[in-house]
Structure 1
Amino acid sequence: MTSLALDRRTLIRSAAALPLARAFPAWAQSGTAGLRPTPGILSGDRIELAVSESHFTTGGRSAHAVTINGTLPAPLIRLKEGQNVQLVVHNLLKEDTSIHWHGLIVPFHMDGVPGISFPGIRPGETFTYEFPIRQSGTYWYHSHSGMQEAMGHYGPIVIDPAGADPVRADREHVIVLSDWSPVHPHKLMQRLKQMGGYYNMQKQTLAGLLKGRDQSLKDRMDWGRMRMDPTDISDVTGSTYSYLVNGHGTAENWIGLFAPGERVRLRIVNASAMTNFNLRLPGLAMTVVQCDGQHVQPVETDEFQIAIAETYDVIVEPAEAKPYGLIAEAIDRSGLVRATLAPQVGMIAPVPPLRQRPLLTMKDMGMDMSGMDMGHNGVIDLSQPANDGMAGHSMKMLDPSVAPQVPMGPGVATLSPMPADRTADRPTGLEDVDHRVLTYADLKALKPNGDTRAPTRSLDIHLTANMERYMWSFDGVKLSDGAEPIAFRHMERVRVTLINDTMMPHPIHIHGHFFQLVTGEDAAANPRKHTVNVLPGGKVSFDLTADAIGDWAFHCHMLMHMHAGMMRVVTVRHDGGAA
């Protein structure tokens, strides 16, 4: 192992004994000059990682953490396309752990999902992951055990290409976004099950009505009849979360250095448990050059939404010797984190005020108001339950054939009557800003996709929920309720359409594969991704070539949605059924 001047025993002792409140790896420390050269980056053909308990403090809040080699975020792993790597993971916890290599194409038994691809790593045991590196780009790694990911078990991966990098940059920084609460994630989930809007502190008020900031009285009454809350945008909010850049809150001000006139590459990872961020650099345009580790045709924007588990690489070119604020704002605008790009240590970019929180609309419930049958008072009649078990708060489907495979019941409170393709829509919270906003429709593959065959079959998958009871599922069935695997034949080409029947966006991730997101007519130019954010009341389609034999996880990357049941197993088999 070329990156650590420690033997294995010293590494394990150090990680187990490290109770430091503020332990950062070198790449994540404030004032870093960038990734080259940076001490402490893990590289080479054999890398050792020790998962242990620590404490973490930010913004005056301190709590138990799960860390790797004693740091939060975890060490940066830097690899090279074409190499073979061994990643030796020591579990020093009192519970099982695991590591999933998010976005990496690996043999399924090295994918790191307990109960699907391997049994997990028991306390005191060591597991060695070993696989070839078949790609390049920006990725990350995290636990797939319990809710350790929400407690600090995550870190970035950078893979350099075997040949020339099409992205030219003078300097690069890794930006890992995350959310942190001193409340244990199991307690957060318990509270959400008791009351779905437990952490929503931004509900409409009389003052908002009088000042014209919120819905009109009529709209409020209409939404109240449907038992819907237009402010219910995020489950866990800034009321308990601290938002972090590389482990630093706003007051701690992470600084990444630059020299005026440089092309600076920012490798941005959203490693949050439950927060989608709207990201901007006021005064600096961003040129998006990579998404989910895959090169895209450069596209300039002023702001974009990065969903949980996505990565974006952008180029910025700061011309002036002044600080620039990197602003990651939660999509419900319950909080933000400011970091600083600056020419020298000690400079601080301003913190902008939080923008007005958005309100959901009929479109977010999958209803195109044009052409819909209105009731006698001009309101769509959605007050009748679609099923006796729906507790009176279900939307009535206009056409039962919309989702014939979705079993109605207490876990499915709504079905979108008219879900629309929203890949060209501005995402939640950015609908009305007065500057450029990236949409999925703006992303085009840099090089033509290799497989552009027409799909031989199509598959619709509904994202379903009862938000009041905090029940989440695919097609109305939770994984724990015996959901059947989604079966593919090896190398078949399938058009998958995700239909969001809920009022929240969902970042949906498939393991072991990349898919081509359908954003236009030219299949060769559709962007390749491993995670896609499905907007409320919307649908997205992607073409998947099932080229990886094995059993793979397929789930919402909102950690609590996944644990509540929004997860399935994808199986890829040869025609005869053998693995």
Structure 2
Amino acid sequence: MGGSFFNRILVPSSSADPCSRACRVALLICCCLSVLVESSLGSKTRHFKWEVEYMYWSPDCVEGVVLGINGQFPGPTIRARAGDIVNVELKNKLTTEGQGTPWADGTASISQCVINPGETFVYRFKVERAGTYFYHGHYGMQRAAGLYGSLIVDVAKGEKEPFHYDGEFNILLSDWWHESVHEQELGLSSKPFRWIGEPQTLLMNGRGQYNCSLAAHYSNSSSSQCMFRGNEQCAPQILRVIPNKIYRLRVTSSTSLASLNLQISWAKCGMLGSSYPDETSLNLGSLNKEIMG
């Protein structure tokens, strides 16, 4: 998923001269899709109002600090139709010095100025191609801290999907470390270099289980750490399906370092597309697909 990200910047609401200050605190949100910002007659404008801040969360049943949007981890899904205008009003509530967001894609504090703590910036862009994308923080280790979410673009109104399906699921894959992103960043930038090691957990839609077997959930084991009630932040998400129906899986990898291999062996599957928009195929059989972050 690539291309140019945000092609035009809007003026931050709280700065008359946005580039007059040092670009010091940055929280870059970039969307992985090509966009244009010119207006389009007949398109619909989708409005989103976000606040980015630190939160305590237990993605894998171990509490830590994440970057969340509107109290959510991962961030809320942006959904629009091809041709729509997306308008995101983002407020930076990261009060710690050194944390924030640049306006749009580019090298933070060099090619882009930043959204300082307490400031608000409006992203406005047109989505042109239907597909499955994602947005993420692009400054420092913000993506590893959980600042990401899905961006789904449906076909334009009046157009038909190339394939029939009865329902769909959005699957957002990510890697997760218990060590804070500040410790990770220090190790990666130190001399000598300190490798942060393999992630403690792999998350699906922000949920995973660390050092824990789901077998306890289905057996008479005395172990209680995996006997979920369903409302825990780390409880597995259950995708409920009806036999003999066709489901579309929108799979995105937002991993920081891990390359993943997703396998579905219980159903006939076909790949409808990938990061390359023109790549389309339909092969029935079990799905075993390598997914890069």
Deviation of 1:178 after TM superposition, in Å, equals 0.8
SS at match of 2:242: coil
Within the candidate set 108, 132, 153, 2:126 is matched to 132
For residues 184 and 90 of structure 1, do their structure 2 counterparts lie closer, same or farther at Cα, with a shift above 3 Å needed?
same
Q: Partner residue of 2:49? A: 48
Could you say which residue in structure 1 is the equivalent of 2:223? none
Higher helix residue share: 1
Highest RCO, 1 vs 2 (Cα 8 Å, sep ≥ 6): 2
Instruction: Please name the residue that 2:101 is paired with.
Output: 98
Once the two structures are aligned, what percentage of the paired residues are identical?
Answer: 28
Q: Is the 8 A contact 2:274 2:280 kept in 1?
A: no
Alpha-carbon shift at residue 194 of structure 1 (Å) = 6.0
Contact 2:55 2:71 in 1 (8 A): yes
Deviation string for 1:463-517 (max 9, x for gaps)?
xxxxxxxxxxxxxxxxxxxxxxxxxxxxxxxxxxxxxxxxxxxxxxxxxxxxxxx
Q: Report the Cα offset of residue 291 of structure 1.
A: 0.8
1:517-536 map, 5 Å: none
Are 1:139 and 1:293, in contact at CA under 8 Å, matched by a contact in 2?
Answer: no
Q: 1:162-213, CA deviations, whole angstroms, 9 ceiling, x for partnerless residues?
A: 12221321111110011112211232244455676755xxxxxxxxxxxxxx
Post-superposition offset of 1:150 = 0.7
Shift in CA distance, 286/249, structure 1 to aligned 2, threshold 3 Å: same
Q: Which amino acid is 1:71 matched to? A: Q
Amino acid at match of 1:245: M
- 2:181 corresponds, among 173, 181, 185, to 185
Distance 1:142 1:270, change over 3 A: same
Question: Which of the residues 137, 149, 157 maps onto 2:151?
Answer: 157
3-state SS of paired residue (1:188): helix
Q: Map of 1:331-346 to 2, 5 A cutoff? A: none
User: 1:276·1:305 contact (CA, 8 Å) conserved in 2?
Assistant: yes
Report whether the alignment pairs 1:270 with 2:264: no
Letter in 2 for 1:237: E
Which residue is equivalent to 1:257? Answer: 240
In structure 1, the gaps of 5 or more residues are: 1-42, 100-108, 200-235, 309-579
RMSD after superposition: 2.4
State the one-letter code of the partner of 1:129.
Y
**1:237 aligned to which of 198, 209, 215:** 198
C-alpha separation in 1, matches of 2:75 and 2:47:
17
Superposition pairs for residues 109-124 of structure 1, below 5 Å?
A: 110-111=104-105, 114-115=108-109, 117-124=111-118
What is residue 306 of structure 1 aligned with on the other side?
A: 291
CA–CA distance in 2 between the matches of 1:187 and 1:130?
A: 34
> Matched residues in 2 for 1:180 and 1:87: separation?
27
Query: CA separation of 1:81/1:182 partners in 2, compared to 1, >3 Å: closer, same or farther?
Result: same
- Structure 2 distance, partners of 1:188, 1:194, is 13
Distance in 1 separating the partners of 2:88 and 2:106? 12
Structure 2 gaps of 5+ residues are: 1-43, 210-225, 227-234
Which residue of the other structure, out of 164, 171, 175, is the alignment partner of 1:175? 171
Larger radius of gyration: 1
Asked if the contact 1:288–1:296 (Cα under 8 Å) also holds between the matched residues in 2, the reply is no
CA contact (8 A) 1:154 1:271 kept: yes
Residue-by-residue CA offset, 1:111-150 (whole Å, 9 max, x unaligned): 3653355312110000111122221100000111221111
**AA aligned opposite 1:168:** H
Count of aligned positions = 219
Is the 8 Å Cα contact of residues 98 and 112 (structure 1) preserved in structure 2? no
Question: What's the offset of the Cα at 1:274?
Answer: 1.2
